[in-house]
């Protein structure tokens, strides 16, 4: 027990220097995964209980988010609001793809389910109050969960390119339903969403923190942040528990997992359901932030963007999903501004953004195939192994 | 026994409690055909409680197929499997662990993205109690449950002398250590029957000797069914041996009986002798001398 707790690998019988150097996991896909909490051990400065540790991180992140939202201008606030829904969806997708090894090109469609649910519930007759917002978002999550479960049952039988194909059909087909049922879903125009007014609690809170005006944009950014923190808290709990470990086992070695008593289908469907729930919430937040639920918002491009975000960030890492989403939101405007500063006209500047995004993607795949977080973790583990080797050599010395 | 017969109450709450094995595996009249090719025809064998049963035969004899039938990876065209006096119908691999049967794979089949300790913890899956929602909310029960699994897994690693590798990833470990981890993962489920598929492949002489002693020690608390090419190991550790050739059972009995059987010698020396069969035959005679 004590040996497994020490961060540096302890000297076991029959271990050689060469073994210690090769400390890192071989597969790039798993490089960004943290071991489950009880199997990791050795983090003395954080609480031992998973609940306390994760609550502490959520609390610190919340403080950080408030500071960030208060020091930035309204435009950045709205960008951060976009970041929250991308990050929520990417977090769910990284559980599915990174931990369970299932690819989904259909998460944009699952977001659409959440977005339309939110939009429909917010549409009320004049003078009538809609349901409370948390309840509406919860219903959006549940609707997306049901759709996700149906897709998951089909997906559990498919692999690799076949699964990609099936979910692709979802991404292409589902927004079409909105056009077909024009009466309910508003056709190509979509449904306009009137975002609810910020509650008094929020106005008082902003007044207390910074004295700035509690605008609707700011409220949406805060709302998205709250949803993001709750989602990541729950997802992190799952990832660090037996559930996440079992998902990774199913991803790595099907037969061995089955022999350990794991029903592959059940666990695959579970991963799909969890990830669909996150996509549903993301869709709900997106509908509120862009104030519209329309088919053009949920094209295949959205699904692909989510997938590139989690690959760039590091598969199976929530921090990676957040960083990847940030790149998705902040890189294009940054490049466009840069282009304008360099004397390009506005069309040219706008065109250069996808190009740079593509170049970043290619460079990352060449030099950091494990993503930001995965690459850093591999480096860290290799360095740790080298230190341990050096330490042992000195002991022998 | 009829379908109403109750299985004996299973006690698996304590890790590795000492118990006398009582469960018996019986496979009767198993036939498997892949397309038109008969891989197994009318093979029967019984693994008695607490016995080490060897399954040998030249390459392509159907040993692994029979193994796969025993754990539900291959469904037989005919025949029945009885475990704890109950017939197993439509057996699925994921049910094995609950039935008290563990199996190792021919390759090591470890989870590459999980640490050694996590690998073994997955093996203890059937002992986990905390469910999805306690994990989702990170309730203390989930933490406690995971701690118990971790203790159980650590104990299994200690038993196999691999606890020093707990935090490492399988890909960075030498092959014999990986094999030990795979064995720990099978043992941590506390099975009553252990199916070992070529546990000695890739091991050095002294490691194989250790493995033989370990298997003998295990037979005090479980039955073992063993597929192995190394004849000296098989002859040393097995109580009974079944010999397959081209999908048919050609001999069965104690190691001494099997060695004396002319059909066995013929099967191993058959018309087209390949290198491996040759080596196995040589090993068989070596083992014979050691035993006599």
- Per-residue pLDDT reduced to its tens digit, B242-264: 999 888 898 899 998 988 888 88
Which of chain A's residues have a Cβ under 8 Å away from the Cβ of B176? none
How far, in Å, are A141, B71, B234, B264 from residue B252 at the CA level?
61, 22, 13, 10
Distance from CA of B156 to the nearest CA of A (A): 12
How far, in Å, are B45, B104, B234, B237 from residue B23 at the CA level?
14, 19, 22, 20
Q: Which of A30-34, A271-275, B37-41, B83-87 has the highest mean pLDDT?
A: A271-275
Range of weakest confidence among A210-214, B18-22, B62-66, B90-94: B18-22
Above pLDDT 90, what percent of chain A?
Answer: 50
- pLDDT value of position A353: 83
Rounded Cα distance between A232 and B264, Å, is 62
Say if the Cβ atoms of B136 and A234 lie within 8 Å: yes
> Is B289 strand, coil or helix?
helix
Domain containing A224 equals: 46-299
Distance from CA of B106 to the nearest CA of A (A): 11
Q: Which candidate, B148, B91, B159, B95, places its Cα nearest to that of B124?
A: B148
Is B12 inside any structural domain?
A: no
Write down which residue in B139, B161, B190 finishes a domain.
Answer: B190
Residue among A4, A10, A237 minimizing CB distance to B154 = A4
Write down which residue in B190, B206, B235 finishes a domain.
Answer: B190
Distance from CA of B94 to the nearest CA of A (A): 4
**B171 with B196, same domain?**
no
User: CATH no. for residue B224?
Assistant: 3.40.50.300
Check CB contact of B115 with chain A, cutoff 8 Å. Answer: yes
Residue B31 token pair: 């036939």
Per-residue pLDDT tens for A42-63? Answer: 555 778 888 999 999 999 999 9
Rounded Cα distance between B122 and A248, Å, is 10
Say if the Cβ atoms of B135 and A27 lie within 8 Å: no
Q: Which of A52, A256, A262, A266 to mutate to test the interface with B (most CBs of B within 10 A)?
A: A256
Residue among B105, B146, B169 minimizing CB distance to A242 = B146
- pLDDT value of position B178: 92
Which positions 80-109 of B are in contact with A (Cβ < 8 Å)? 92-98, 102-103, 105, 109
Say if the Cβ atoms of B135 and A12 lie within 8 Å: no
Rounded Cα distance between A292 and A256, Å, is 47
| Averaged pLDDT of chain A | 86
Check CB contact of B146 with chain A, cutoff 8 Å. Answer: yes
Is A17 inside any structural domain?
A: no
- pLDDT value of position B14: 42
Per-residue pLDDT band for B281 (boundaries 50, 70, 90) equals low
Per-residue pLDDT band for A190 (boundaries 50, 70, 90) equals confident
Angle between helices A371-396 and A318-341 (to 10 degrees): 120
Per-residue pLDDT tens for B116-146? Answer: 999 999 999 988 888 899 999 999 999 999 9
**B92 with B126, same domain?**
no
In degrees and rounded to multiples of 5, residue B155 shows phi and psi of -60, -40
Residue among A50, A253, A262 minimizing CB distance to B109 = A253
**B77 with B117, same domain?**
no
Which of chain A's residues have a Cβ under 8 Å away from the Cβ of B204? none
**B241 with B131, same domain?**
no
Range of weakest confidence among A9-23, B16-30, B258-272: A9-23
**B136 with B278, same domain?**
no
Q: Which of A112-121, A125-134, A291-300, B18-27 has the highest mean pLDDT?
A: A112-121
Rounded Cα distance between B25 and A379, Å, is 49
Helix (H) or strand (E) holding A292: strand A292-293
- pLDDT value of position B114: 93
Average pLDDT over residues A205-212: 85
Is B11 inside any structural domain?
A: no
Which positions 164-193 of B are in contact with A (Cβ < 8 Å)? 164-169, 171-174, 185-186, 189
Q: Which of B92, B118, B188 to mutate to test the interface with A (most CBs of A within 10 A)?
A: B118
**B223 with B268, same domain?**
yes
Per-residue pLDDT band for A29 (boundaries 50, 70, 90) equals low
Per-residue pLDDT band for A387 (boundaries 50, 70, 90) equals confident
Rounded Cα distance between A162 and A159, Å, is 6
More confident residue, A283 or A216: A283
**B203 with B284, same domain?**
yes
- pLDDT value of position B172: 85
Is B132 inside any structural domain?
A: yes
- State how many domains chain A has: 1
Per-residue pLDDT band for A40 (boundaries 50, 70, 90) equals low
Residue among A15, A27, A263 minimizing CB distance to B112 = A27
Q: Which of B91, B135, B144 to mutate to test the interface with A (most CBs of A within 10 A)?
A: B135
Domain containing B185 equals: 113-190
What is the ipTM, given to two decimal places?
A: 0.84
Per-residue pLDDT band for B4 (boundaries 50, 70, 90) equals very low
Distance from the first to the final alpha carbon of chain A: 28
**For residues B84 and B7, is the Cβ–Cβ distance under 8 A?**
yes
The conformation of residue B34, written as its DSSP 8-state character, comes to E
**B198 with B275, same domain?**
yes
**B207 with B284, same domain?**
yes
Rounded Cα distance between B55 and A19, Å, is 35
Which of chain A's residues have a Cβ under 8 Å away from the Cβ of B140? 49, 51
Inform me whether the pLDDT recorded for B15 exceeds 50. no
Which of chain A's residues have a Cβ under 8 Å away from the Cβ of B189? 260-261
Say if the Cβ atoms of B138 and A240 lie within 8 Å: yes
Residue among B111, B130, B186 minimizing CB distance to A248 = B111
Average pLDDT over residues A318-344: 91
**B57 with B92, same domain?**
yes
**E-state strands within chain B:** 25-34, 37-47, 52-56, 78-83, 86-87, 101-103, 193-197, 223-227, 240-245, 248-253
Angle between helices A300-313 and A318-341 (to 10 degrees): 110
Rounded Cα distance between A277 and A145, Å, is 5
- pLDDT value of position B8: 41
Per-residue pLDDT tens for A262-279? Answer: 999 999 999 999 999 999
Is B184 inside any structural domain?
A: yes
- pLDDT value of position B5: 40
Average pLDDT over residues A274-300: 94
**For residues B125 and A260, is the Cβ–Cβ distance under 8 A?**
yes
Residue whose entry in the numeric block shows the structure tokens 């040393």: B236
Inform me whether the pLDDT recorded for B2 exceeds 60. no
Rounded Cα distance between B181 and B41, Å, is 35
Which of chain A's residues have a Cβ under 8 Å away from the Cβ of B172? 19, 22-26
Average pLDDT over residues B154-179: 90
Q: If you write DSSP's letter for every residue of B92-122 in order, what string do you get?
A: -HHHHHHHTEEE--SS----TTS-HHHHHHH
Write down which residue in B173, B190, B207 finishes a domain.
Answer: B190
Per-residue pLDDT band for B285 (boundaries 50, 70, 90) equals low
B92 Cβ contact list (under 8 Å, min separation 6): A258, A263, B72
Say if the Cβ atoms of A257 and B114 lie within 8 Å: no
Q: If you measure CA to CA, which chain B residue comes closest to A13? A: B164
Say if the Cβ atoms of A39 and B150 lie within 8 Å: yes
Per-residue pLDDT band for A1 (boundaries 50, 70, 90) equals very low
Is B241 inside any structural domain?
A: yes
Is A352 inside any structural domain?
A: no
- pLDDT value of position B35: 85
Rg of chain A over all Cα atoms, to the nearest angstrom: 23
Neighbouring C-alpha atoms within 13 Å toward the C-beta of A301: 6
**B63 with B83, same domain?**
yes
Average pLDDT over residues A181-191: 86
Say if the Cβ atoms of B113 and A12 lie within 8 Å: no
- State how many domains chain B has: 2
Inform me whether the pLDDT recorded for A3 exceeds 90. no
Distance from CA of B284 to the nearest CA of A (A): 31
Rounded Cα distance between B277 and B288, Å, is 16
Count of Cβ atoms closer than 10 Å to residue A71 Cβ: 9
> Is B82 strand, coil or helix?
strand
Say if the Cβ atoms of B172 and A264 lie within 8 Å: no
Residue among A51, A255, A260 minimizing CB distance to B122 = A260
- pLDDT value of position A345: 83
């Amino acid at each position: 027990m004590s040996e497994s707790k020490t961060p540096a690998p302890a000297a076991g019988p029959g271990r050689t220097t060469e073994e210690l150097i090769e400390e890192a996991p071989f597969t790039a896909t798993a490089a960004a995964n943290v071991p489950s909490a009880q199997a990791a051990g050795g983090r003395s400065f954080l609480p031992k209980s998973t609940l306390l540790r994760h609550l502490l991180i959520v609390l610190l992140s919340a403080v950080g988010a408030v500071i960030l939202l208060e020091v930035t201008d309204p435009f950045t606030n709205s960008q951060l609001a976009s970041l929250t829904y991308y990050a929520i969806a990417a977090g769910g997708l990284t559980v599915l793809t990174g931990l369970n090894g299932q690819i989904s090109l259909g998460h944009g469609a699952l977001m659409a389910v959440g977005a339309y649910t939110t939009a429909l519930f917010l549409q009320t007759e004049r003078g009538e109050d809609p349901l409370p917002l948390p309840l509406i978002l919860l219903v959006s999550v549940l609707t997306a969960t049901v759709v996700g479960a149906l897709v998951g049952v089909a997906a559990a039988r498919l692999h690799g390119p076949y699964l990609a194909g099936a979910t692709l059909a979802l991404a292409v087909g589902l927004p079409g339903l909105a056009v077909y049922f024009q009466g309910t879903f508003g056709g190509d125009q979509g449904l306009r969403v009137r975002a609810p007014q910020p509650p008094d609690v929020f106005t008082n809170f902003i007044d207390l923190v910074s004295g700035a005006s509690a605008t609707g944009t700011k409220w949406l950014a805060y709302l998205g942040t709250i949803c993001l923190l709750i989602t990541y808290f729950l997802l992190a709990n799952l990832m660090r528990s037996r559930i996440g470990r079992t998902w990774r086992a199913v991803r790595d070695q099907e037969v061995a997992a089955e022999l350990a008593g794991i029903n592959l289908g059940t666990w695959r469907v579970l991963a799909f359901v969890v990830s669909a729930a996150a996509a549903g919430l993301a869709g709900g937040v997106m509908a509120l932030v862009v104030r519209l639920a329309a088919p053009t918002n949920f094209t295949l491009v959205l699904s692909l963007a989510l997938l590139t975000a989690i690959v760039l960030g590091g598969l199976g890492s929530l921090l990676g999903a957040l960083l990847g989403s940030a790149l998705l939101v902040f890189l294009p405007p940054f490049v466009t501004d840069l282009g304008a500063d360099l004397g390009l006209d506005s069309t040219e500047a706008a065109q250069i953004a996808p190009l740079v995004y593509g170049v970043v993607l290619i460079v990352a795949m060449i030099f950091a195939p494990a993503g930001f977080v995965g690459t850093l973790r591999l480096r860290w583990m290799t360095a740790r192994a080298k230190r341990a080797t050096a330490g042992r050599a000195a002991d022998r010395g | 026994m009829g379908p109403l017969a109750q299985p004996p109450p299973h006690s698996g709450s304590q890790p590795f409690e000492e118990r006398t094995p009582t469960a018996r595996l019986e496979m009767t009249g198993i036939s498997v055909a892949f397309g038109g090719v008969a891989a197994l025809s009318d093979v029967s064998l019984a693994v008695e409680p607490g016995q080490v049963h060897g399954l040998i035969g030249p390459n392509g004899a159907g040993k692994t197929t029979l193994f796969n039938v025993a754990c539900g990876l291959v469904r037989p065209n005919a025949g029945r499997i009885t475990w704890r006096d109950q017939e197993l119908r439509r057996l699925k691999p994921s049910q094995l662990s609950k039935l008290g049967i563990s199996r190792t794979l021919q390759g090591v089949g470890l989870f590459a993205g999980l640490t050694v300790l996590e690998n073994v913890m997955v093996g203890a899956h059937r002992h986990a109690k905390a469910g999805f929602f306690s994990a989702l909310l990170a309730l203390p029960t989930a933490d406690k449950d995971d701690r118990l699994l971790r203790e159980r897994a650590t104990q299994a690693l200690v038993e196999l002398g691999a606890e020093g590798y707990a935090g490492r990833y399988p890909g960075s470990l030498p092959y014999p250590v990986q094999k030990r981890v795979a064995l720990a993962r099978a043992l941590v489920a506390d099975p009553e029957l252990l199916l070992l598929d070529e546990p000695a492949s890739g091991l050095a002489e002294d490691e194989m000797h250790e493995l033989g002693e370990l298997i003998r020690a295990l037979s005090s608390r479980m039955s073992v069914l063993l597929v192995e090419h190394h004849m000296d190991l098989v002859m040393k550790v097995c109580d009974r041996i079944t010999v397959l050739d081209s999908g048919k059972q050609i001999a069965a009995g104690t190691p001494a009986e099997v060695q004396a059987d002319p059909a066995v010698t013929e099967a191993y020396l058959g018309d087209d002798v390949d290198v491996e069969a040759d080596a196995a035959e040589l090993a068989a005679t070596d083992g014979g001398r050691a035993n006599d």
